[in-house]
Amino acid sequence: MTYDVYGIGNALVDSEFRISAAALDALGLDKGVMTLVERPRLEELVAGLEGFEHTRASGGSAANSIIAVAQFGGRAFYSCKVANDETGDFYLRDLRACGVDSNIHDGHRPPGDTGRCLVLVTPDAERTMNTYLGITGDLSDAEIDEDAIAASRYVYLEGYLVSADAGRRAAIHARHCAELAGVKTALSLSDPNMVQFFRDGLLEMIGNRVDLLFCNQAEACLMAGADSAQAALEALKPLARQLCITLGSQGALLWDGRAQHRVAPCAARLVDSNGAGDMFAGAFLYAISSGGMDFPAAGAFAARAAAEVVGHFGPRLPIERSRALLAG
């Protein structure tokens, strides 16, 4: 196999800000969720955030997970769409620097705006995201590399793609390609808002069944119409051969297709919750695709990685911290 994990998702340059709860309220934002915005609203928010400390990195939920796979030592590919602008230049440089192969090539990017995401982190470590999709909203089958899919162990689909018709169709096409090639499929539900407003589209992306489904407790309960993680796990089994439901400070609940496993929580210094779920998925996919770990061990490793990333400002770890986690 050429790649351990092939991902498809939005390409967003993340600008992450430290912000007070009062400042968040003054901007009129719904705390703790991802909200799609148009360019005028993005520019309004950027103006309102002038002077706040922030960082910039290539992102998008699936991109964060795929970058984690690469930083742990896995072989990764990411299908996405960026424009021929400065933001796109930055995205491509950063993705390559992280060791991720991509469908994007210099000189073949269309005009437009590369997607951006404003990630606002309050003192309680909660993240609030406002996303301007830009050209990534036009992600389509054209960005799919079928040869790379066939040469992968897993194809990982980002649930956020459900919010755009073309993106949803591209994700479905990628799943079909994987199934035809005998490649395992994984999908993340991504965000409670995606489940609340686009549940039917997510079911289309899942198809008959994916091999592995990632979600947090809120997403799982919304998807299943359940009132507990345990009930949700039982209700979601027809949708996936294996399941990972993260429970925040309570660890995680896993189903490996035969048995249920409970992952103990890891002590964490909570600085920034952004990227915790992305890191869990990336670390887990690395562990089962190329790390030689079984399901319980992969869950424990992913929980340690997620606990590490929430103690760090930003959705990814420095490479040295990623390798230190592997060393135990």
Extract the tokens encoding 261: 């496993």
Predicted local distance difference test score (pLDDT) of residue 106: 66
Find where tokens 């869950």 sit. 299
Tell me, which fold does domain 3-11+61-104+134-327 have in CATH? Answer: UDP-N-acetylmuramoyl-L-alanine:D-glutamate ligase (3.40.1190)
Predicted local distance difference test score (pLDDT) of residue 322: 85
How far is 262 from 300, CA to CA, in rounded Å? 9
Find where tokens 């984690």 sit. 68
Nearest Cα to 57, choosing from 108, 107, 117, 10? 117
Extract the tokens encoding 50: 């002038």
Find where tokens 């899919």 sit. 149
Extract the tokens encoding 279: 């890191």
Extract the tokens encoding 311: 């103690």
For 51, which DSSP code? T
How far is 77 from 244, CA to CA, in rounded Å? 22
Please name the amino acid found at residue 197.
F
pLDDT, one tens digit for every residue, the chain (328 residues): 799 999 999 999 999 998 999 999 999 988 888 888 999 999 999 999 998 888 888 999 999 999 999 999 999 999 999 999 999 999 999 999 999 999 987 667 999 999 999 999 899 888 898 999 999 999 999 999 999 999 999 999 999 999 999 999 999 999 999 999 999 999 999 999 899 999 999 999 999 999 999 999 999 999 999 999 999 999 999 999 999 999 988 999 999 999 999 999 888 777 767 778 999 999 999 999 988 899 999 999 999 999 888 777 777 888 888 888 888 7
Extract the tokens encoding 299: 């869950």
Predicted local distance difference test score (pLDDT) of residue 209: 97
Predicted local distance difference test score (pLDDT) of residue 107: 67
State the DSSP H helix or E strand holding residue 16, giving kind and residue range, or none if neither.
Answer: strand 12-18
Predicted local distance difference test score (pLDDT) of residue 105: 76
How far is 178 from 75, CA to CA, in rounded Å? 17
How far is 100 from 33, CA to CA, in rounded Å? 28
State the DSSP H helix or E strand holding residue 326, giving kind and residue range, or none if neither.
Answer: helix 319-327
- If phi > 0 it is left, if psi is from -120 to 50 it is alpha, else beta; for residue 312 that is beta
Predicted local distance difference test score (pLDDT) of residue 49: 92
Number of CB atoms found within 10 A of residue 162's CB: 26
Q: Hey, CA dihedral for 126, 202, 316, 286, is it positive or negative?
A: positive
How far is 23 from 68, CA to CA, in rounded Å? 31
Give the SS3 label for residue 140: coil
Nearest Cα to 205, choosing from 162, 149, 242, 240? 162
Q: Hey, CA dihedral for 189, 237, 174, 295, is it positive or negative?
A: positive
CB 46 within 8 A of CB 78: no
Query: pTM above 0.85?
Result: yes
CB 18 within 8 A of CB 52: yes
Predicted local distance difference test score (pLDDT) of residue 328: 72
How far is 155 from 49, CA to CA, in rounded Å? 37
How far is 5 from 153, CA to CA, in rounded Å? 6
Please name the amino acid found at residue 286.
Y
Number of CB atoms found within 10 A of residue 209's CB: 12
Sequence-ordered strand ranges (E) for 19-175: 34-36, 54-59, 76-79, 100-102, 115-121, 127-132, 152-158
* Radius of gyration, CA atoms only, the chain: 18
